[in-house]
Amino acid sequence: MTRAELASAILAKVQGDAVSTGGALTLDTQGGILTAPAPTVIELLSQSRAQHLAYRSAQPRRDTQGTISDGNPEEAAAALSEAGRLRAQAELADPSHADPAWVIEPMTHNHDELLNFYYDLLHR
């Protein structure tokens, strides 16, 4: 699958979930309708990274004495879904990765691997 196909499939999978928006609501110049400004690529990637960390911290963990915590499966699933949705939105907002946010993003895995990771886990 291409990155765009992966991103579209991730969004299709989570489309029923709550949608977070960045920024304050503003008045639209056409008829005074409240609209939210579209989040920037750097905001989407940053929020995705934060949700990925929330997913990891909600997973079961083994402490130094060897005891395994239960974790919080519901919280982990919600954070995973949101992390995938945000990264997919960033991909579709800038498919050519022209925004400097892609270069400065602190990552341990490349973007394609993360899209595949979210796709695989969300489509189990």
Q: How confident is the model at residue 100 (pLDDT cuts 50, 70, 90)?
A: very high
91-to-7, 18, 85, 88, 105 alpha-carbon distances in Å: 7, 19, 10, 5, 13
Q: pLDDT by residue (tens digit) across 21-33?
A: 334 445 555 555 5
Q: Which two tokens stand for residue 74?
A: 């519901």
Q: Model confidence at 89, in pLDDT bands (50, 70, 90)?
A: very high
Q: Identify the band that residue 34 occupies on the pLDDT scale cut at 50, 70 and 90.
A: low
Which pTM value belongs to this model?
0.75
Nearest to 51 by CA among 15, 23, 18, 75: 75
Provide the percentage of residues in the chain whose pLDDT is more than 90: 45
pLDDT score, position 74: 92
